[in-house]
């Protein structure tokens, strides 16, 4: 069913619509397709039939089996160009872009009970682990700045619960708790010793972004952040140089004030 689900996503992309819009067009409740895509679960055959009926340009045989052409009017014969395109596509994997804002802050953000797939992103298969479940999620907040910037994206891999105790320190993870809130944090793994994780922000403003702990029983899922995408490219060196220059200016002012104070003290002592 997993391959069928990826082909359903391909139809949605080619049509320029979201999975939610496709659900509406086939008369399905919101989440019928998006939950199946996110979780890799089966869907009822009637929804496949409705997709075929509502999107007649696409081959039913291709949708169900993956054989032949995607479009009904396309020839099934292949030439060197189409074969090359197929081999390129075979080297890529589709990762669902899900409608969930990862909390890059200390308080988290409430998320829906399921992940709505709003789009997909293709990545070379060599960049991901085979047979592992990946998602692309958007970062919201400034707590992981300057490492991860607000409104950027991370590719995360879902961890099996058996992997939790061996999570290395100082890596970045997306953690969802049993209350439905999600966080993206750098962690210290204390599961073996004490049964909790220390969640840390990269932002140096620890008053607004303090560390906090999550007990194992409070955690629903953990995903390892493996890739990061951002359209923002700030000059970090310039930022820090500006801060150093400002600090030097402040020191010069303080030195001048100290000289004035010393002169006043000497004048008082002379009197």
pTM: 0.56
Size (the chain), residues? 271
pLDDT at 105 over 60: no
Residue 252 sits at φ, ψ, to 5 deg, of: -60, -40
Lowest mean per-residue pLDDT among 47-61, 139-153, 232-246: 232-246
Place of tokens 């199946």: 36
pLDDT at 82 over 50: no
pLDDT band at 102 (very low <50, low <70, confident <90, very high): low
pLDDT at 231 over 70: yes
pLDDT at 99: 66
Are 190 and 197 in contact, with CB atoms under 8 Å apart? yes
pLDDT at 59 over 70: yes
Residues 6+ apart with CB under 8 A from 122: 92, 93, 94, 95
pLDDT in tens, 251-271: 888 988 898 898 888 888 776
SS3 224: strand
pLDDT in tens, 106-163: 555 555 444 567 778 888 888 888 778 899 998 988 999 989 999 899 999 999 989 9
pLDDT at 166 over 90: yes
Cis, peptide link before residue 230, omega less than 30° from 0: no
A 10 A CB-CB count for 218 gives 14
In the chain, pLDDT over 90 holds for what percent of residues? 27
Lowest mean per-residue pLDDT among 99-103, 162-166, 228-232: 99-103
Mean pLDDT (the chain) is 82
In the chain, what are the helix, strand and coil shares in percent, each to the nearest 5? 40, 25, 35
Residues 6+ apart with CB under 8 A from 138: 100, 101, 102, 151, 152, 153
Average pLDDT over residues 31-52: 87
pLDDT at 194 over 80: yes
SS3 197: strand
Place of tokens 């060599």: 126
pLDDT at 54 over 90: no
Residue 229 CA neighbour count, 13 Å, CB half: 12
pLDDT at 86: 32
pLDDT at 181: 84
Please give the helix or strand (H or E) that residue 198 lies within, else none.
strand 196-200
pLDDT at 65: 87
The three state secondary structure string of 109-165 is EECCCCCCEEEEEEEEHHHCCCCCCEEEEEEECCCCCCCCCCCCEEEEEECCHHHHH
Say how far apart CA 77 and CA 3 lie, in whole Å: 22
């Amino acid at each position: 069913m997993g391959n069928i689900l990826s082909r359903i996503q391909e139809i949605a992309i080619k049509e320029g619509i979201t999975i939610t819009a496709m659900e509406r067009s086939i008369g399905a409740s919101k989440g019928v397709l998006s939950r199946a895509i996110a979780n890799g679960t089966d869907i009822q055959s009637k929804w496949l039939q409705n997709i075929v009926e509502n999107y007649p340009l696409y081959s039913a045989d291709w949708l169900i089996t993956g054989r032949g052409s995607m479009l009904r009017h396309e020839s099934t014969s292949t030439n060197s160009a189409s074969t090359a395109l197929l081999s390129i596509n075979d080297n890529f994997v589709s990762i669902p872009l899900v409608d969930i804002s990862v909390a890059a802050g200390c308080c988290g953000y409430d998320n829906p009970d399921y992940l709505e797939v709003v789009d997909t992103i293709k990545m070379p298969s060599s960049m991901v682990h085979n047979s592992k479940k990946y998602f692309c999620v958007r970062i919201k907040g400034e707590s992981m700045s300057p490492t991860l910037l607000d409104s950027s994206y991370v590719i995360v891999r879902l961890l099996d619960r058996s992997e939790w105790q061996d999570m290395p320190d100082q890596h970045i993870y997306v953690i969802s708790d049993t209350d439905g809130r999600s966080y993206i944090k750098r962690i210290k793994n204390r599961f073996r010793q004490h049964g909790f994780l220390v969640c840390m922000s990269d932002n140096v403003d620890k008053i607004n972004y303090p560390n906090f702990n999550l007990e194992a029983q409070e955690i629903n899922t953990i995903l390892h952040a493996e890739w990061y995408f951002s359209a923002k490219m700030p000059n970090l060196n310039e930022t820090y140089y500006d801060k150093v220059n400002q600090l030097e200016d402040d020191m010069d002012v303080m030195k001048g004030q100290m000289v004035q104070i010393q002169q006043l003290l000497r004048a008082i002592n002379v009197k």
